[in-house]
Amino acid sequence: MGKRKTELTLRFPKNFQRVTFNIKSENKLSPLAKLILQGMQFKHFYYARDDIFYLLNSNPIEQEFLLQALYSMSISLQNNLSVDFFDIWISEVYINKVPLKNKFIIKPYQKLESKEYITITLAYVIKKVSTKKKFVY
């Protein structure tokens, strides 16, 4: 008998709702963190969490920042909408650089720093909760 290769995949939900979160990064994101974030699109919450946890092990500060952001988003969904962690996917991820403007600096050789904002859209499914009927004796 030949071995059949089975792959564990969680399909992106067809009937889903979406919510968008914006995160301000105080520090500049590393190229590895940007690559991990871009690769999170259409992944299940736990797979995205594992990517950050294991692949950013060399940068614990950045790892902790991104994990806290991801956990905060998922806990918000759970607390506000009763969404199960197993019903959350990463739908979209954008990283935007916003330059800090200073009207007093007018010389072109003076370099201005920029802030990075991470926009993450989560897709989720709210499962209907079955209610048990109470029997009165």
Q: CA–CA distance from 1 to each of 4, 5, 6, 7, 118 (Å)? A: 9, 12, 15, 19, 49
CA 20 – CA 50 distance, rounded (Å): 21
Say what the pLDDT of residue 84 is.
86
Is residue 8 one of the residues assigned to a domain? no
Q: Are 106 and 95 in contact (CB under 8 A)?
A: no
User: What range does the domain containing 95 cover?
Assistant: 17-124
CA 118 – CA 94 distance, rounded (Å): 6
Say what the pLDDT of residue 107 is.
61
Say what the pLDDT of residue 115 is.
80
Task: Write the CATH number for 112.
Answer: 3.90.470.10
Is residue 3 one of the residues assigned to a domain? no
Express each pLDDT in 8-38 by its tens digit. Answer: 345 666 778 999 999 998 888 999 999 999 9
Say what the pLDDT of residue 98 is.
77
Is residue 48 one of the residues assigned to a domain? yes
CA 89 – CA 101 distance, rounded (Å): 35
Say what the pLDDT of residue 2 is.
47
Is residue 69 one of the residues assigned to a domain? yes
Is residue 1 one of the residues assigned to a domain? no
CA 124 – CA 74 distance, rounded (Å): 10
Collect all residues with Cβ–Cβ distance below 8 Å to 45 and sequence separation of at least 6: 70, 74, 85, 86, 88, 89, 90, 122
Residues in the chain with pLDDT values less than 70: 1-13, 99-113, 129-137
Number of domains in the chain: 1
Is residue 100 one of the residues assigned to a domain? yes
Give all strands (DSSP E) within the chain, no chain letters. 17-25, 88-99, 114-124
Q: CA–CA distance from 53 to each of 11, 57, 74, 114, 115 (Å)? A: 22, 6, 16, 26, 24
